[in-house]
């Protein structure tokens, strides 16, 4: 019997709490944002952070099993080949396919109307940057 090593094709993230100020971000998250970049929006969950700037998205994926292990995804908006935004009751989904073939599913949960509008504005900035 043969076993094939499974490689995940898509990565899923759920974010719930908005980071209201840059000072709330940990130092390791701030150091990946260049001085000339403007942070538009940031979210966190129990272990991960996502930071949207005017040029890129920085995603910090911490492993719960290994405390000091984290994967950092720096995704320039120009590298997004296709995208979709889905609005559902209490939830917003960003579905991104990158030029490399990597796919991301970023879910924002427990969203009210105002929070959905903020995500929509970030999505518009992301797509404008591609042009």
pLDDT tens profile 26-81: 888 889 999 899 999 999 988 889 999 999 999 988 765 656 677 888 999 999 99
Cα gap 111→117, rounded to integer Å = 10
Give the β-pairing of 56-62 and 49-53.
antiparallel
pTM of the model: 0.84
Domain boundaries, the chain: 10-130
Nearest Cα neighbor of 15 from 126, 118, 128 is 118
Handedness of CA 77, 54, 39, 94 (dihedral sign): negative
Query: What number is the average pLDDT over the span 81-99?
Result: 94
Topology classification of domain 10-130: PH-domain like (2.30.29)
pLDDT digits (tens, 9 = 90+) for 97-122: 999 888 889 999 999 999 999 999 99
User: Cα separations (Å) of 20 from 31, 39, 84?
Assistant: 18, 11, 25
Q: Are strands 91-98 and 80-88 parallel, antiparallel or unpaired?
A: antiparallel
């Amino acid at each position: 019997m043969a076993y094939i090593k499974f490689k995940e094709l898509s990565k899923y993230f759920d974010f719930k709490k908005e980071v209201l100020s840059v000072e709330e971000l940990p130092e390791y998250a701030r150091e990946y944002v260049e001085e000339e970049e403007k942070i538009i929006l940031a979210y966190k969950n129990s272990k991960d952070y996502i930071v949207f700037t005017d040029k890129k998205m920085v995603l910090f994926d911490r492993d719960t099993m290994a405390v000091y292990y984290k994967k950092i995804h720096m995704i320039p908006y120009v590298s997004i080949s296709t995208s979709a935004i889905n609005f559902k009751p209490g939830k917003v989904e960003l579905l991104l396919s990158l030029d490399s073939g990597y796919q991301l599913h970023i879910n924002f949960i427990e969203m009210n109307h105002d929070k959905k509008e903020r995500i929509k504005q970030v999505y518009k900035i992301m797509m404008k940057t591609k042009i």
